[in-house]
Structure 1
Amino acid sequence: MFSAISDLPYRHVLTMPAVGSAVRTARETTEQLLMEWGISRHHHAVAPALLILAELVTNSVRHAAALSPNITVIYAGAPDTFAFAVHDRHPYQPALLHAHPTHHGGLATVVELTLGLGGTTVVRADADGHGKGIWITLPL
């Protein structure tokens, strides 16, 4: 696996309104990108990655839309790594330690699925403190 997101050769950025249809748009874009990057939709990590993405976009739509009219999904990849972040401009930064895997739904599902695939979950605050991105990195 690559040591840093910046080392990944494939890139894509998707910005869309923070509305319910963003979940579908993000999933469809992800499926298309993975196909273009040569990652089979039947790869064992793809279905969980799509669920993780849907949970994160849903959380941004539900909880951040009032302060963040747009959501951005940043994608990066390589033949052996898939990374993505869901970014919004709401200042709240969820604590991943409190997203315990025994609680089901939302961020707990994200953490549980990511760990189950051997990946990482990181919350990165914007420099101005008025937004954040939740980064998922998965080995393929």
Structure 2
Amino acid sequence: MDSRSGALPHPGVPPTTGHAGIWRFSVPPVEHAVPGIRHAVRDLLRRQQAPLTADRLYGVLLILSELVTNSVRHAALLTTEIGVEVGFDAHWVRLSVEDGHPYRPRALEAAPDQQHTGGRGLLLVKATALEAGGDCGVTPTATGGKLIWAALPVDGF
């Protein structure tokens, strides 16, 4: 269910040795996939001894849950499988969720303190990433879908 390859895709961060790597998962676009992937990623990060405090790990898992939930709720009709990627090295942990829907959510472009009737989960993703000193964004895929990602510095960086 997971694989390891290459360097962490974050600009300016050289690959490191040890427990760092990139792992990819696929989940169906259904609600019950959310807790399953959250537990799988939590267990992976613990097993690989990712340099995260309990608070940073909680933030990472919160972001993951919000991104997968967003894909399940808004992209399931155009997505047979949601791709999840988690990677970390000595400096960063990066999460990305890929689905087949072309719509780029605007919530990541909005200010976290603005009031919106929808998209609060993605505002939470943005606020959590920025508060930790990281970033997040949306990238279109070659197949017409999108990749929503968040990168957070590991503790102590």
Indicate the TM-score class for this superposition, using the shorter chain for normalisation.
0.7 to 0.9
1:79 aligns with 2:87: no
CA shift digits 1:30-84 (9 cap, x unpaired): 1111112212674331101111111111110000001112111011111332111
The two structures have a TM-score, normalised by structure 1, of 0.87
The two structures have a TM-score, normalised by structure 2, of 0.78
Q: How does 1:118-137 map to 2 (within 5 A)?
A: 118-128=133-143, 130-137=144-151
Distance in 2 separating the partners of 1:52 and 1:72: 15
Distance in 2 separating the partners of 1:48 and 1:82: 11
Shift of 1:87: 0.6
Distance in 1 separating the partners of 2:72 and 2:61: 16
How many residues are paired up? 137
Radius of gyration: which is bigger? 2
Distance in 1 separating the partners of 2:44 and 2:121: 24
Q: Which structure has more helix as a fraction of its residues?
A: 1
Distance in 2 separating the partners of 1:132 and 1:29: 23
Write out the 4+ residue segments of structure 1 that deviate beyond 6 Å after TM superposition. Answer: none
2:68 pairs with 53, 57, 72, which one? Answer: 57
Amino acid at match of 1:3: P
Secondary structure of 1:66 counterpart: helix
Q: How does 1:14-33 map to 2 (within 5 A)?
A: 14-33=25-44
Secondary structure of 2:27 counterpart: strand
- Counterpart of 2:109? 97
C-alpha contact (below 8 Å) 2:92/2:153 kept by paired residues: yes
Q: Which structure has more strand as a fraction of its residues?
A: 1
C-alpha contact (below 8 Å) 2:83/2:98 kept by paired residues: yes
Structure 1: stretches of 5+ with no match in the other structure: none
C-alpha contact (below 8 Å) 2:75/2:100 kept by paired residues: yes
Q: Quick one: structure 1 residues 6 and 41, their matched pair in 2 at CA, closer, same or farther if it must change by over 3 Å?
A: closer
Secondary structure of 1:47 counterpart: helix
1:106 aligns with 2:117: no
Secondary structure of 1:11 counterpart: strand
Amino acid at match of 2:89: A
Structure 2: stretches of 5+ with no match in the other structure: 1-9
Amino acid at match of 1:92: Y
Q: Percent identity?
A: 35
What is the aligned-residue RMSD (CA, Å)? 2.1
